[in-house]
């Protein structure tokens, strides 16, 4: 069972104790791994303060990046009477230079903290690529210079990501998929969570294409706030390819319009409410035992 910390209540005490003692106990170390990332996020992003980051119910870190930074995880479980609720794995910042994908994910975490009803089970990773984000000049790739969104296992009908990169992607360094699939600790987090958490849907936030992309055999959301559905196709080794074609889990890819400029608060709210409406619609169809028909709507 995940040991959950509620930093909202504990943060002031924690900061005070850190400033008093140069050596910390093992429990404090667990806090400090999360706090260190939150502190760095707060320094890096104008739209997310350290306090805001720490206000989330981040669990004891289970996973770490190449450079040893904690991969933040926050769970918002379904209510006890709703155990069949859809499970949503929500990922921000798989590309470290897409700042808004992290900042907006934190805004949606704020919304969830205020309004979580237990109708869905959420698992958030707001900063999947902390090493890419938290360096002087942020990078798309991780500390091993691997594009995590090309580092997943490809579906059998797709070429190996490395071959695709050499031939189709013209060896552009931004898209280097790694020497083999799942070579990176950050992509292995998703691989492990797909097996252990068994998400019903995966949502991944990117920028700056300003569209909504979707991989899945069910009816895609037509739009989320200002973002309209435009399916870009799938790349070998990408999360969309892996999640849907290998694991059968629909993947919603939110492409915010700008990497360095936040959407308007109204649009951030509307994207969230549209996403939740789509999830409700999807859950209702499943509850109505129309799963076969649901699957028949091929996008």
Binding residues (CB under 5 A) for Zn ion: these are 95, 98, 206
Asked if 107 contacts 114 with a C-beta cutoff of 8 angstroms, the reply is no
Of 3, 26, 139, which is closest to residue 75 (Cα–Cα)? 3
- Count how many Cα atoms sit within 13 Å of the Cα of residue 115 in the half-sphere of its side chain: 10
| 55 vs 151, beta carbon nearer Zn ion | 151
Determine contact, residues 89/201, Cβ cutoff 8 Å.
yes
Question: Closer to Zn ion at the Cβ: 98 or 215?
Answer: 98
Min dist. Cβ of residue 95 to Zn ion (A): 4
Q: Which is nearer to Zn ion, 40 or 100 (CB)?
A: 100
Nearer to Zn ion, 69 or 206 (CB): 206
Tell the smallest beta-carbon distance from residue 97 to Zn ion (Å): 8
Query: How many Å apart are CA 132 and CA 138, to the nearest integer?
Result: 5
Count of alpha carbons within 13 angstroms of residue 247, beta-carbon side: 25
Looking at beta carbons, which residue is closest to Zn ion? 206
Helix (H, G, I), strand (E, B) or coil at 88: strand
Residue that has been written with the tokens 């106990």 in this structure: 25
Enclosing H/E stretch for 123? strand 121-125
Largest CA distance in the chain: 61
Closest contact distance (angstroms) between CB of 180 and Zn ion is 21
Q: Contact 273/266 with Cβ under 8 angstroms?
A: no
Q: Which is nearer to Zn ion, 98 or 184 (CB)?
A: 98
User: Whole-angstrom Cα distance, residue 46 to residue 293?
Assistant: 46
Nearer to Zn ion, 206 or 247 (CB): 206
Output the smallest distance, CB 98 to Zn ion, in A: 5
At 83, list the tokens.
């155990």
């Amino acid at each position: 069972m995940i040991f959950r910390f509620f930093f909202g209540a504990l943060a002031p005490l924690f900061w005070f104790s850190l400033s008093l003692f140069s050596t910390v106990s093992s429990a404090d170390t667990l806090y400090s791994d999360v706090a260190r990332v939150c502190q760095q996020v707060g320094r890096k992003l104008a739209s997310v303060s350290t306090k805001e980051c720490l206000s989330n119910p981040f669990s004891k870190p289970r996973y770490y990046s190449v450079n040893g930074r904690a991969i933040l995880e926050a769970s918002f479980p379904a209510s006890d009477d709703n155990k069949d609720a859809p499970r949503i794995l929500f990922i921000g910042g798989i590309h470290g230079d897409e700042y808004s994908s992290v900042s907006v994910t934190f805004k949606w975490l704020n919304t969830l903290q205020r309004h979580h009803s237990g109708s869905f089970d959420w698992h958030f990773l707001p900063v999947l690529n902390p090493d890419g984000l938290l360096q002087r000049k942020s990078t798309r790739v991780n500390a091993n210079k691997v594009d995590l969104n090309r580092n997943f296992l490809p579906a059998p009908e797709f070429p190996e990501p490395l071959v695709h990169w050499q031939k189709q992607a013209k060896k552009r360094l931004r898209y280097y998929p790694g020497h083999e699939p799942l070579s990176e600790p950050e992509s292995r987090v998703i691989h492990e969570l797909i097996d252990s958490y068994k998400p019903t849907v995966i949502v991944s936030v990117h920028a700056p294409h300003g569209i909504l992309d979707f991989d899945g055999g069910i009816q895609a959301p037509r739009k989320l706030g200002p973002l309209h559905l435009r399916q870009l196709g799938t790349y070998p080794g990408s999360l969309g390819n892996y999640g849907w074609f290998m694991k059968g889990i629909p993947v919603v890819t939110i492409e915010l319009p700008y990497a360095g400029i936040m959407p308007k608060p109204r649009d951030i709210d509307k994207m969230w409410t549209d996403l939740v409406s789509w999830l409700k619609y999807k859950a209702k169809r499943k509850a109505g035992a129309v799963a076969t028909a649901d699957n028949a709507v091929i996008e």
